[in-house]
Structure 1
Amino acid sequence: MTSALENYINRTVAVITSDGRMIVGTLKGFDQTINLILDESHERVFSSSQGVEQVVLGLYIVRGDNVESKARSSIKKFEDREDMKYSRKVSGGPKSRWISRG
């Protein structure tokens, strides 16, 4: 897994946490337990009544045991949270690809 993550350094990634949150940011580093360091990050909060809200987080660390999945993102708008929460792969060609933790 770690060798696959090396290809994502300094690229924008979307991380789904085990509690269903989506964090988008630039991957700056990681370690052997898949702790992720994201820069210029924000959380995308999905609401059926208000659409998507972006909460700025800045420099952010996601613990490896809290990472459900990661994807390289082309900064497209993800419109269906339930689809993103349970999907491991996003259609959209080479610019968006899910990587399973397990």
Structure 2
Amino acid sequence: MSSRKETVLDLAKFIDKGVQVKLTGGRQVTGTLKGYDQLLNLVLDEATEFLRDPDDPLKTTDQTRHLGLIICRGTAVMLVSPTDGTDEIANPFVQPDGA
């Protein structure tokens, strides 16, 4: 067994590519991944935060806020996904209003 700690995620393939990061507390940020460490601390450049709906804090709106260069603490990172090759689809579980 190796004494060197390795991260569960292999983020090397996402360096200098766009990623979307969801953080604990509901914040959602996109940016260019510039670096990371074994604790999953992330460095994002040209970061943009999607603002939440004031009426429903669990939903994000189309409004954004430019953050620039940021560090996301690994303890707050819940999800890291690439922005290229992903599309948003309609929720198949939402019932139509007439039902």
TM-score by length of 2: 0.69
**Consecutive unaligned residues in structure 1, runs of 5 or more:** 84-102
TM-score by length of 1: 0.67
Cα deviation for residue 77 of structure 1 reads 7.5
Q: 1:74 to 1:35 in 2, by over 3 A?
A: same
Secondary structure at the aligned position of 1:7 is classed as helix
Q: 1:70 to 1:44 in 2, by over 3 A?
A: same
**If you compute each CA radius of gyration, which structure gives the higher value, 1 or 2?**
2
Q: 1:41 to 1:75 in 2, by over 3 A?
A: farther
- 33-42 or 68-77, larger mean C-alpha shift: 68-77
- Amino acid in structure 2 at the alignment position of 1:68: M
Cα deviation for residue 47 of structure 1 reads 2.8
CA distance in 2, matches of 1:3, 1:70: 9
RMSD: 3.0
- % identical equivalent positions: 32
Asked whether the equivalents of residues 2 and 34 of structure 1 are also in contact (C-alpha less than 8 Å), the reply is no
Runs of 4+ off more than 3 Å: 75-80
**Pairing partner for 1:6 from 5, 12, 22:** 12
**Pairing partner for 1:33 from 32, 36, 39:** 39
